Amino acid sequence: MRALLLPIKDLRQAKKRLAPFLNPEERFGLAQAMLADTIRAVRGVCQADKIFVITNYAPAMQAAKENGWELLREEQQISESVSVDAASRHCAGCGVTALLRLPLDVPLVQSSDIDELLALEYDAPALVIVPSRDGTGTNAILRTPPTLFPSHFGSGSFTKHCAEAQHAGAQIFIRRNARFEMDVDDETDLRTLVQEDLRGTETGEWLQRAGVLQRLTQPPLEPSTRDHAVKLAANT
């Protein structure tokens, strides 16, 4: 049985690396929009036998209920790695043989991108992994079996996951996918994202509606210029 896993944190605490560019309300709005795009893509997936959501965030719980996905309720969230590993153990106990963890900040991803990963044929044990755009992070990870090795999300996770798979004697399949790799963590990511076709996405609509798109299409200020602008604003 092949399944999807959506680890969803409290979006009010999301995207703190965007703090220099977006205020808390804007970061929350962006995170909501990207989650909506992820849910849209997951709804169209054909190759998953089951979909799990691990969270303690009420709107995410409601989304799982509305879509008929299995909810794994958390009492507290320590880290994404802890959440994913706990869910992986649960899924393995339910008969899941391969588990694909999806990120929530890849607004361009399509159902077909997810299905393509799930449809790959290989013998266990195996790792299928999609790196981040800079090649250092992990934007999608499919482990067969789900508990093949522990998660290491964060800085340098791509190398760590591949090393774990190698140590476990697993086959490693690296897949490059521009839509999967377009995650959003900082201002540079946002400026790269708006160069893409965002038509039909909640993220694109939110960026336009919130006025963020206009700010993003302006060139970033040099540090000295930005400091000068802040001083001028403080004196007016």
Q: What is the mean pLDDT of the chain?
A: 92
- pLDDT score at 54: 98
* Domains present along the chain, CATH in parentheses: 2-235 (3.90.550.10)
Pairing assessment for the beta strands 98-101 and 126-131 based on DSSP bridges: unpaired
> What pairing do the DSSP bridges indicate for beta strands 138-144 and 50-55?
unpaired
Residue type, 34: M
CB count within 10 Å of CB 230 equals 11
Instruction: Specify the pTM.
Output: 0.89
Query: Does 39 score more than 80 pLDDT?
Result: yes
Percent of the residues in the chain that have a pLDDT greater than 70, as a whole number: 92
User: What is residue 123's DSSP assignment?
Assistant: P
Higher pLDDT pick, 230 / 113: 113
User: How would residue 38 be classed by pLDDT, with cut points 50, 70 and 90?
Assistant: very high
Query: What was the pLDDT predicted at 4?
Result: 98
Question: What pLDDT does 55 receive?
Answer: 97
**pLDDT at position 145:** 98
- Reported residue count of the chain is 236
- Among 25, 193, 46, CA closest to 111: 46
Using pLDDT thresholds of 50, 70 and 90, give the confidence band for residue 156. Answer: very high
Confidence tier at 207 by pLDDT (50, 70, 90): very high
**50-99 per-position pLDDT tens digit:** 999 999 999 999 999 999 999 999 988 889 999 999 999 999 999 999 99
* CA neighbours closer than 13 Å in the CB half-sphere of residue 169: 2
Q: What is the pLDDT of residue 183?
A: 93
Is residue 236 over pLDDT 70?
no
The most distant pair of C-alpha atoms in the chain lies apart, rounded to whole Å, by 66
pLDDT at 230 over 80: no
Q: Are 12 and 82 in contact (CB under 8 A)?
A: no
Distance of CA 135 to the CA centre of its chain: 15
Give the strand pairing for 171-174 and 126-131.
parallel
Q: What is the DSSP letter of 11?
A: G
Helices (H) and strands (E) counted in the chain, each on its own, are 10, 7
